[in-house]
Amino acid sequence: MIKITYYIKVVDDIYINQPNQKMKTILIATDFSDGATHAANYGYLLAQQIKANVVLCNAVSVTAELPQAGLSVWPKDSYESLLQASIDDTDQLKSDLEIFSVISDFRPLISCINQEGTIQTVVETLITTQTIDLIIMGTHGSRGLNSFMLGNHTRGMIDEAQQPILFIPPAAKIKKVKKIAFAADFKYPKKDLVSFYSVLALARLLDAEVVLTHIYNEKHNSPEFNDWAKQSLIELRESSDYEAITYKFLQNEETDSGLNLLCEQENIGLLAMVHRQHNFFDALINGSKTQQMAEDISIPLLVLPVNN
């Protein structure tokens, strides 16, 4: 197997030599539900910490669809009045955020977007016209991420997203993130490495510890692969110009159980993983034994796009 240091050299000029990457704009999608407002509060304080500005987005639909984060369902015959209601609600949310408890001297600029369409189409339009570094959405109800996944528009946006998406469950505490866990499966080492540096850039802005983790199953992984993956975590930590990096190499029959255990034992404030076909997050979206984690997740989940 190729050493991880080979892949580090491939992306060195792109990421290692740009340690001060900034996030300038966070897009927060809202439907004004309690869960979405909670996510907006979380997102605003995150913007304060990383010194980014905020775009509040409400997608106004004139057709009846299943409610989902960032999507409001309005009757066709009252579109104009309902669009105005959307604008009023967004302005009110903006005012509420601006008086929300301050944790730094930086006050993010907040702009508001109200457009007709699904959340997927509206976000795609915004991304092509503005520089968006991170998308934040709340999950709905008590069933966490699984409830958020209602509706093909949201799944489609996740599949096509060019930016990281941060999901905020209702149970997530609004506080500074001190630890970020990055879960890697090492099936695509080069892509995992690029995603890791994306997480590392966020960790620098938050002054947070990064916990590199790999959950393995002895039935599915050969001893040689496990040794290689463990050594890769060590090399990745040692090669990164960031002191606050640790690694956890955990054995568990189920990936979701292993990640839940890690988050509990290590007091993880944010879990990051890559979304690609046939990996943990893909199974989480489409339903599998990992669905229980989606229902129970209580910390923010950062989903990195496959192209990263």
Domain count of the fold of the chain: 2
Whole-number Å distance between alpha carbons of 28 and 22: 18
Last residue within a domain, chosen from 109, 139, 168: 168
Percent of the chain with pLDDT over 90: 25
CB 174 within 8 A of CB 266: no
State pLDDT tens for residues 53-97.
Answer: 999 999 887 654 445 555 555 455 577 888 888 999 999 999 999
Domain residues for 143?
Answer: 25-168
- Outline where 207-252 has alpha helix (H): 223-239
Burial 101-128 (b: 16+ CB within 10 A, else e): eeeeeeebebebbbeebbbbbbbbebbe
Residue 117: CATH number of its domain: 3.40.50.620
pLDDT beyond 70 at 271: yes
Between the two ends of the chain, the Cα-to-Cα distance in Å is: 22
The pLDDT score that the predictor gives to residue 18 is 47
The pLDDT score that the predictor gives to residue 210 is 92
Sign for the pseudo-dihedral over CA of 221, 299, 170, 94? negative
Same domain, 229 and 259: yes
pLDDT beyond 80 at 185: no
Same domain, 86 and 51: yes
Q: Which of the residue ranges 7-21, 238-252, 272-286 would you say has the lowest mean pLDDT?
A: 7-21
Q: Is residue 87 part of a domain?
A: yes
The pLDDT score that the predictor gives to residue 25 is 94
For helices 152-160 and 119-129, give the axis angle rounded to 10 degrees.
Answer: 30
CB 114 within 8 A of CB 60: yes
The pLDDT score that the predictor gives to residue 143 is 46
Other Cβ atoms within 10 Å of 251 Cβ, number? 12
Whole-number Å distance between alpha carbons of 300 and 96: 22
State pLDDT tens for residues 125-135.
Answer: 888 888 899 99
Selected residue with higher pLDDT from 201 and 285: 201
